[in-house]
């Protein structure tokens, strides 16, 4: 059994889809009886993922994995980065975040960006392994597509002409940053 250390319903859905067929039973924090919010106080994706996974693993005495992820845009000195979810302020909508991003990119020709996912898996004793996945691409001028969440409508991965929000779920879930970090995690935890 693996507990997902997240309250983000979109992230939970995506991770459960990626992990379906892995042989692991995946449950949410709420399903495990953990209802506390875990503040992301780290300066890196790795620090935040470890913080989330370890805090629940030590209390629940089981395997817990956490994903911290975000968008890094080269022309913005790799912002929003670890602040991707709060980029336009606490409680801002996905469209608010996209609008802020597009406003800051106005007039810039360099649109290179990458999505980063770091998964931390914590054992019941608090020891942790981390796995990083990245997908490179570019930011387009206006949102396209209705699938996905976050910055998906403005991110076109390398080798594609569609945004993450336009791609079929199965395709996105096979090439995404989360798919890459999860695949690395599964290789290691199968030996636990």
| DSSP character at residue 23 | S
Q: How confident is the model at residue 126 (pLDDT cuts 50, 70, 90)?
A: confident
The range of the structural domain enclosing residue 79 comes to 2-189
- In this prediction, residue 156 carries a pLDDT of 99
68 has catalytic annotation: yes
| DSSP character at residue 149 | -
**Per-residue pLDDT tens digits for 1-19:** 889 999 889 899 989 998 8
**Paired tokens of 72:** 């890094």
- Residue 69 gets the label, from left (phi > 0), alpha (psi -120 to 50) or beta, of beta
Q: Would the pLDDT of 89 be above 90?
A: yes
- The CATH number linked to 6 is 3.90.950.10
**Per-residue pLDDT tens digits for 104-119:** 999 999 999 999 999 9
| Residue 146 near residue 172 (C-beta atoms within 8 A) | no
Separation between Cα atoms, residue 154 and residue 156, nearest integer Å? 7
Mean residue pLDDT across the chain = 94
- In this prediction, residue 125 carries a pLDDT of 87
Catalytic residue among 67, 68, 94, 152: 68
Total domains in the chain come to 1
DSSP line for 166-184: TS-HHHHHHHSHHHHHHHH
Q: How confident is the model at residue 60 (pLDDT cuts 50, 70, 90)?
A: confident
Q: Residue 127: is the preceding peptide bond cis (ω within 30°)?
A: no
Q: How many Å is the Cα radius of gyration of the chain?
A: 16
Q: Would the pLDDT of 192 be above 80?
A: no
Close Cβ partners of 11 (under 8 Å, ≥ 6 residues apart):
4, 67, 69, 178
Give per-residue burial for 27-58: e unless 16+ CB within 10 Å, then b: bbbeebebeeebebeeeebbbbbbbbbbbbbe
């Amino acid at each position: 059994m693996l507990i997902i250390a997240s309250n983000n319903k979109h992230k939970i859905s995506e991770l459960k889809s990626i992990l379906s067929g892995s042989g692991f039973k995946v449950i949410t924090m709420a399903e495990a009886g953990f209802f506390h919010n875990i503040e992301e106080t780290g300066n890196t994706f790795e620090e935040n993922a470890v913080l989330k996974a370890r805090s629940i693993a030590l209390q629940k005495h089981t395997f817990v994995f956490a994903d911290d992820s975000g968008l890094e845009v080269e022309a913005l000195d790799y912002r929003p980065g670890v602040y991707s979810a709060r980029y336009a302020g606490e409680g801002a909508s996905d469209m608010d975040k996209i609008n802020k991003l597009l406003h800051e990119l106005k007039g810039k020709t360099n649109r290179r960006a990458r999505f980063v996912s770091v998964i931390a898996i914590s054992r019941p004793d608090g020891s942790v392994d981390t796995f990083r996945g990245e997908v490179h691409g570019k930011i387009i001028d206006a949102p396209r597509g209705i699938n996905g969440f976050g910055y998906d409508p403005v991110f076109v991965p390398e080798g594609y002409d569609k945004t993450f929000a336009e791609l079929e779920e199965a395709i996105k879930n096979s090439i995404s940053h989360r798919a890459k970090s999860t695949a690395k995690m599964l290789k290691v935890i199968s030996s636990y």
